[in-house]
Chain A
């Protein structure tokens, strides 16, 4: 009897708490609504009169193509380099491999424009390689993005590889499979979800990347985020900037969603 009474109170208090929870969750959501959703709705509304002019301009089309080219090339580069580095750290470990893995984690929090800044000294007209033309080409942006975003691919891969039983690899090797075959038939299928998660996150982030493009400041490599900045801040053309912002949002979220659906796997967390 006493126990029943006790559990009844617990249920009641839980119920009441659930009712309260609703209200309790509102202020943070309201904050996001006012500071994120409301501005984005206004951006969409502001863009309406400018659509025709912007969509037809060559400047916009070039930037759109350029953005997708750079993002796709960078993502492929990150996947190749990231997979190689993660495989070596996980399966051909060397003294200090842990330190390197830790370093990769730290780099995730650094600003991307540092990479672009360093390129001035590495590839600039004065400096190490003096490959003057390279710095102003889209490939400089791609190389900088591969440098900066490779850790984003490595992190989920390293986590997935650390869960892979070592015995599987050893058995395959003892049965005569060479390193390539072990990699292709055992490691890669096992870490595919991590590869998809890391790759689609990288694609989203490279589509949105701004700091690197701004700092390299090459004339020939205007991307959509760069065009939003130029139109909004330099030319004070808010409606024009808003159109590009809307296209950019549709492109980023659309491509991300398509990729996730096509490749399957669990929903990636953005963090």
Chain B
């Protein structure tokens, strides 16, 4: 198509392999390798061990995993509910542009600033949330709403609104149209919004590190604390725990999406 000679293709592929592996793939593989290495003083890791992983799955570190999961579920699920609601309600109205801009604000602004805003706003009357887990959940909710809204709004543009109109003209009540026509048609998009929200929530660090109380430390915050104390190998093991959990959650939500798309 572009390169016609055999040798030309070979050169391009080798260059691709080198760039892709070294620049894009290597960092992720290195973290996984380090998680299972006793030491790393040369090209390859040495002294294979599962100690770091054991450490990453006990005590405070295990508590962090549970905190992260709870935060991702509460923040992520609320985000999907409000994102879907916002996208469906705004579609086709004069509010659509305002809603679009408002919902994209949290991702256009740095997450640290979103965190600072919550800290400033909710450390004072009338709403005091600083020091509780709810400020962390709210931070995740705010950031993930933007992605859920975007995913559902994009899906709405591809869906023919006449199905809902036909159902309504045949006498279905608005509630029935919502539950039996509009939401089922959006289910694949909602499931993929949920997957994205959970994955991003599990790895969120900027806003969380601004607002978290000592009693509610998410996985990325613990990983940072470990690297800060020089325990890079345990940090790598905990990062692997984070990666594995995220992949499992996303795969589960992906299966839901597949099932929804089949119907």
Bitwise, A97-111 to B at CB < 8 A (1) or not (0) is: 000100110010111
User: B112 near A225 (CB under 8 angstroms)?
Assistant: yes
**6 more A-B residue pairs beyond the given contacts A124-B232, A173-B2, A179-B8, with a C-beta to C-beta distance below 8 A:** A20-B174, A107-B24, A110-B243, A111-B242, A121-B34, A126-B39
Cross-chain contact of B116 among A17, A38, A241 (Cβ < 8 A): A241
Q: For the complex formed, measure the closest distance between the CB of A224 and the CB atoms of chain B, giving whole angstroms.
A: 8
The listed residue (A14, A25, A37, A144) touching B95 by CB distance below 8 A is A25
Residues of A within 8 A of B (CB): 6, 9-10, 13-14, 17-18, 20-22, 24-25, 27-29, 31-33, 35-40, 42-43, 46, 81, 84-85, 87-88, 91-94, 100, 103-104, 107, 109-115, 117-122, 124, 126-128, 144, 146-147, 150-151, 166, 169-170, 173, 179, 182-183, 187, 204, 207-208, 210-211, 214-215, 217, 224-225, 228-229, 232-233, 238, 241-242, 245, 248-249, 252-253, 256, 269-271
Contacts of B41 in A (CB 8 A): 126-127
Find chain A residues with CB under 8 A from B9 CB: 92
Q: For the complex, is B64 an interface residue (Cβ under 8 Å from A)? A: no
Asked whether A114 and B239 contact (CB < 8 A) given A28-B82, A36-B114, the answer is yes
Measured between C-beta atoms, what is the minimum distance from A161 to chain B in Å?
11
Decide yes or no whether B217 CB sits under 8 A from chain A: no
Give the docked Cα–Cα distance between A115 and B26 (Å).
9
Contact of B203 among A91, A111, A179, A252 (CB under 8 A): A111
Check: B133 CB closer than 8 A to any chain A CB.
Answer: no
Given A107-B24, A117-B223, is A81 in contact with B19 using a C-beta cutoff of 8 Å?
yes
A35 touches B118 (CB 8 A): yes
B-side binding surface: helix, strand, loop or mixed? helix
Q: Is the CB of B236 within 8 A of A121?
A: yes
A177 → B minimal CB distance (Å): 10
Main secondary structure of the interface of A (DSSP, over half): helix
Are the CB atoms of B1 and A91 closer together than 8 Å?
yes
State whether B27 touches A21 (Cβ < 8 A). Answer: no
Contact indicator B31/A114 (Cβ below 8 Å): yes
A88, B13: Cβ atoms under 8 Å? yes
5 contacts between A and B (CB under 8 A): A35-B138, A84-B19, A110-B28, A128-B42, A207-B110
Q: Are B210 and A46 neighbours in the complex by a CB distance under 8 Å?
A: no
Q: Are B1 and A166 in contact (CB under 8 A)?
A: yes
Query: Chain B's nearest CB lies how many Å from the CB of A60?
Result: 15
Known contacts A17-B174, A210-B112, A242-B120, A117 near B146 by CB under 8 Å? no
Which residue on B lies nearest to A40, using beta carbons? B117
B residues within 8 A CB of A113?
A: 203, 205, 220, 223-224
- B109 at the binding interface (Cβ < 8 Å): yes
Is B239 a contact of A117 with CB atoms below 8 Å? Answer: yes
Selected from A42, A104, A150, A252, the residue in CB contact (under 8 A) with B117 is A42
> Contact between B108 and A256 (Cβ–Cβ < 8 Å)?
yes
CB-CB < 8 A to B36: which residues of A? Answer: none
Q: How far is the CA of A32 from the CA of B31 in the complex (A)?
A: 37
From known contacts A36-B114, A211-B205, A217-B228, infer whether A270 and B120 are also in contact, taking CB-CB under 8 Å. no
Is the CB of B261 closer than 8 A to any CB of chain A? no
CA distance A29 to B119 in the complex (A): 21
Q: What distance in Å separates the Cβ of A62 from its nearest Cβ neighbour in chain B?
A: 18
Shortest beta-carbon contacts, A-B, top 3: A111-B203, A39-B117, A271-B150
The answer to whether A228 and B95 have CB atoms under 8 Å apart is: no
Q: Chain B residues near A151 (CB, 8 Å)?
A: 24
A122: B residues at CB distance < 8 A: 26-27, 30
Q: Enumerate chain B residues within 8 angstroms of A128, measured Cβ to Cβ.
A: 30, 40, 42-43
Chain B residues lying within 8 Å of A173, measured Cβ to Cβ, are 1-2, 4
Contacts of B27 in A (CB 8 A): 114-115, 118-119, 122, 144, 147
CB distance from A66 to the nearest CB of B (A): 15
